């Protein structure tokens, strides 16, 4: 009985790991579509989002099954609830990648990004995808250490996000209001994506170790 339960729990972790893999790939492709005005890639991210939604429903049903049939208590209960929260946050990460792809599609064939901010978005994309890859390992239970460096990655995203605001609001900004508005939202999408990744990792670790990593994540 106990072994069957743990097997089911492993399956749930694997499902969530697959889901993180999907949203990591979504953000990687969305960033590519943004940097290269690549409409086909943008469309692919947009049409693939339904896979993330389906994966979330499947993970939720698995979690309900565990709760209803096995009535876990203590740490086991908290792991299942953390998985439910994780499924919601990971779906949200997919939505944020989708928003990036939609922005690329909306301006196509015009570039969304003025040349001077391209490197910043290249870095945002890199760090977000790196974060998601680490989160995948944390979720699968393969690498608890990854959670610590995940917080550092999140700090890096916050710093790029803040620097972008400085650039946009500087009197040297040559590109006018409309790109400024696009970049403000886009930068926020990357920043929220990273926040969700950290929050899932913290919650998963907390239920396993009983301790939050010694680091607080900021918002905005």
Sequence-ordered list of residues with C-beta below 8 angstroms from that of 45, at least 6 positions apart, any chain: 26, 29, 30, 33, 97, 98, 100, 101
Does residue number 71 form part of the binding site for a copy of itself (CB under 8 A)? Answer: yes
Does residue number 180 form part of the binding site for a copy of itself (CB under 8 A)? Answer: yes
Query: 178 vs 214, which CB is nearer to a copy of itself?
Result: 178
Does residue number 169 form part of the binding site for a copy of itself (CB under 8 A)? Answer: yes
| Structural contact between residues 186 and 98, judged by C-beta atoms closer than 8 angstroms | no
Does residue number 210 form part of the binding site for a copy of itself (CB under 8 A)? Answer: no
Does residue number 144 form part of the binding site for a copy of itself (CB under 8 A)? Answer: no
Sequence-ordered list of residues with C-beta below 8 angstroms from that of 59, at least 6 positions apart, any chain: 12, 15, 16, 19, 83, 87
- What is the distance between the alpha carbons of residues 123 and 98, in angstroms, rounded to a whole number? 18
Does residue number 78 form part of the binding site for a copy of itself (CB under 8 A)? Answer: yes
Query: Could you tell me what percentage of the chain is helix, strand and coil, using 3-state DSSP and rounding each to the nearest 5?
Result: 85, 0, 15
Q: Which of 115, 176, 210, 216 binds a copy of itself (CB under 8 A)?
A: 176
| Smallest distance from a copy of itself to CB 63, Å | 8
| Structural contact between residues 153 and 127, judged by C-beta atoms closer than 8 angstroms | yes
Q: Which of 47, 181, 209, 212 binds a copy of itself (CB under 8 A)?
A: 181
Interaction site with a copy of itself (CB under 8 A) = 63-64, 67-68, 71, 73-74, 77-78, 81, 84-85, 88, 95, 99, 102, 165, 168-169, 173, 176-178, 180-181, 184-185, 188, 219-220
């Amino acid at each position: 009985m106990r072994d069957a339960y743990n097997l089911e729990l492993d399956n749930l972790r694997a499902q969530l790991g697959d889901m993180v893999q999907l949203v990591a790939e979504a953000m990687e492709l969305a960033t590519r579509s943004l940097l290269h005005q690549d409409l086909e890639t943008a469309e692919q991210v947009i049409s693939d989002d339904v896979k993330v939604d389906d994966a979330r429903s499947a993970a939720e049903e698995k979690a309900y099954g565990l709760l209803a049939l096995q009535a876990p208590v203590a740490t086991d209960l908290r792991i299942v609830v953390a998985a439910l929260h994780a499924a919601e946050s990971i779906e949200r990460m997919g939505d944020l990648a989708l928003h990036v792809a939609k922005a690329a599609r909306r301006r196509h064939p015009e570039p969304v990004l003025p040349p001077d901010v391209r490197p910043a978005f290249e870095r945002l994309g890199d760090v977000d995808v790196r974060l998601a890859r680490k989160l995948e390992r944390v979720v699968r239970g393969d690498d608890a250490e990854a959670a610590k460096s995940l917080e550092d990655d999140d700090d890096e995203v916050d710093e790029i996000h803040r620097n972008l605001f400085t650039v946009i609001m500087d009197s040297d900004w040559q590109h006018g209001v409309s790109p400024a508005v696009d970049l403000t939202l886009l930068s926020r999408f990357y920043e929220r994506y990273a926040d969700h990744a950290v929050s899932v990792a913290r919650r998963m670790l907390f239920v396993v170790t009983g301790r939050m990593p010694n680091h607080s994540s900021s918002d905005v």
